[in-house]
Amino acid sequence: MSGPGLESSTHVEAGSSFDVKPPPLVALFLIKFDLKVGYTIAWKRAINDKVPLEGVVEYKSLPSGLHNVQEDLVYFFHEQCAGVSAFAKGSASEAERNAHFVAVGGMLPLKDSRLGRAWLHAGNLTNLAKSLVDDTTNTSSLEEYWEEHKVSEATADEYTSPQLSPFSLAQRKNRTLSTATLGSDDKQTLSAYHPALSLVDYINTFGPLIFPLHRAALLRKRILLVTSAPVRQACEFVYDLSVTTSTPISLASSLILPSESLVRLRPLFSVGIHDIPYLEKLSQPQVPLHSHGNGNGNTSAQDGVYEDQEEPRVQGWIACTTDDIIATKSKLFDIVVEMPSSHNGRKRPIIKTSDGQKQIQATQRDLRRWHMLKRALGSATYPLKGRPTDRIHDNDEEEPLLSQSASTLVQDNDGEDDQDVVEPTTWSALAYSSFYWWASAGQKDGLLMEEENQDKAIFSELVELAEHIIDARRYQDSDDEEDSAPERNISSPSSHDTVAERQDARIEMALIAYFHRITKRFFEVCSDILDDGADDNEGSIIDGVPNISREEMRLMGLDGWSKADMDFVRTFFELWYEREVNVDRLGIDCCGLRVY
């Protein structure tokens, strides 16, 4: 099996499956906590003085609250570099205020990727941090690691090069997860620390909210995840959202972009109060490099904008933070996501607009699609149920939703725990469904059946993959299972010692392809609407503006009864096609009144 559900659009920085050596570093550093001065760089090496370290890595590597956990992994971004830092806490006396911890991190050229494949250093940096936490003076292991992994002098200035446009890269080279295979082995795999391996946790955490969050990302909003330590999972969720909402490569030849900054949501990973000036800069209208070239090379690499820009826009991004103060600066972001934690006891995140006035909820169709996704995956993901220590479960009986039996049917009351994050059924939708039930003598709504079939078609191969995994597992006895199918504890750094260790990632690849199909469906339906509107064969143009019908909303995978989805369609056309559209507002005529 070659990986059901994969398309050419499933692009993730997987690297070659034979690439067991981590990418070269431009810097390596050790940070320790000093009782008098706080965090300080105890040891550092950089390929040249252009690599920013002092006043940067001390804060980016150690987000607020990290001292409350034993170990963690932090991803960050600075200028043209990606960074990864492993945190370890050691035992300390009261005289030391119980504060004895270090962080070992590295910086890599960002180049054309989201994270420079920094995860390939994660396991080694974690081991280094644990070995140095009790003795920061013995730095010989750091010297050896630097000499082995530093970038060559011939390519030392690569990190200062402007980042390649993902869209241009897509036209030149199709970097897909489908290349991440082991020779002739049918299994698609990823390295043990690859952020995409958190996708099942990402889906379990957000539940039906994955769909409105997906749409917000497609509108390239500035999205801030507010979390608490540890931050590794939140950093991985940043990666997941950026990957699942990138523009499918299969559209590269047909989609004309107003700006190439729209190709993907820019991941900033962990940010703190020292990043506020940078976030303020990103909040200023600008056109990133590679967006609208003037043909004369008249660009500013330092500012990342063209000097002769005509239609500046605010660039979207996704980041996470443990600093609540950032969440109070509403001008820095568009959407804030308050993540569940052991302190607030919530099961689902809360998604709000920046002004805090509006809570973003899933639609009724999102909830139905979520139920179908759970059934599609079924019990194929059960080895994941023991994964990270920072997962939120109130008791041992609460298992991940995707770990439920594939034979479990979703009843009408399934998802009661999600009602707080789902829009209530509108009066008009309730009246319509009640009338249809009465008029059809209790038969299922034909439109709902079409909707269900449409959604099934998007992940039909995902179902096949899940069934294949379940069938393969059924023939394993318990001894074989212990040897060949260990629990994928990817959030426990101590469980991975070598870069060469890899994980079966077929489910994750299929999930990325699933979301890319949803994205592709949006663009295909929108393009068809504009093409049909150009001919105006059916009177779909009103005063020169295309009109979006309920059927077209359904084809997009949206809820025709939801005002939020109608607003999304209008904004989507404005952003991606620079066109204004009208959207039919569904309602029911009752006793001479129009009920919405």
Q: Where are the domains of the chain?
A: 519-595
Q: 258 is written with which tokens?
A: 């107003």
Convert the pLDDT of each residue in 178-195 to its tens digit.
333 333 344 578 888 999
Whether pLDDT at 525 is above 80: yes
Distance CA 281, CA 312 (A): 13
Share of the chain above pLDDT 70, in %: 64
pLDDT at 406: 31
Convert the pLDDT of each residue in 260-273 to its tens digit.
788 889 999 999 99
Alpha-carbon distances of 325 from 272, 273, 342, 356, 536, rounded to whole Å: 9, 8, 20, 14, 52
Whether pLDDT at 349 is above 60: yes
Beta strands in 16-70 (DSSP E): 27-34, 38-46
Convert the pLDDT of each residue in 446-465 to its tens digit.
566 777 777 777 776 777 77
pLDDT at 208: 95
| Spatial contact of 328 and 235, defined as CB atoms under 8 Å apart | no
- Work out the mean pLDDT of the chain and round it to a whole number: 74
Convert the pLDDT of each residue in 92-149 to its tens digit.
666 555 567 899 999 998 875 778 889 999 999 999 999 999 888 899 999 999 999 9
For helices 232-244 and 506-535, give the axis angle rounded to 10 degrees: 40
| Three-class DSSP category at 437 | helix
Higher pLDDT, 516 or 593: 516
Distance CA 262, CA 247 (A): 8
**Residue 102 bridge partners (DSSP):** 32, 88
| Spatial contact of 241 and 511, defined as CB atoms under 8 Å apart | no
pLDDT at 482: 45
Q: What is the pTM of this model?
A: 0.80
Count the neighbouring beta carbons within 10 Å of the beta carbon of residue 16: 9
Convert the pLDDT of each residue in 385-441 to its tens digit.
333 333 333 343 444 444 333 333 233 345 556 888 998 876 565 555 555 454 554
Confidence of residue 377 (pLDDT cuts 50, 70, 90): confident
Count the neighbouring beta carbons within 10 Å of the beta carbon of residue 186: 10
Query: Which of 406, 373, 394, 453 is closest to 199 using CA atoms?
Result: 373
Sign of the alpha-carbon torsion through 343, 344, 348, 351: negative
Sign of the alpha-carbon torsion through 560, 561, 562, 566: positive
Work out the average pLDDT over 207-235: 96
pLDDT at 268: 95
pLDDT at 484: 42
Residue 283, Cβ density class (10 Å: 0-12 exposed, 13-18 middle, ≥19 buried): middle
| Three-class DSSP category at 267 | strand
pLDDT at 141: 95
Work out the average pLDDT over 159-178: 48
| Spatial contact of 102 and 135, defined as CB atoms under 8 Å apart | no
Alpha-carbon distances of 339 from 205, 242, 390, 391, 418, rounded to whole Å: 9, 17, 12, 11, 15
Confidence of residue 536 (pLDDT cuts 50, 70, 90): low
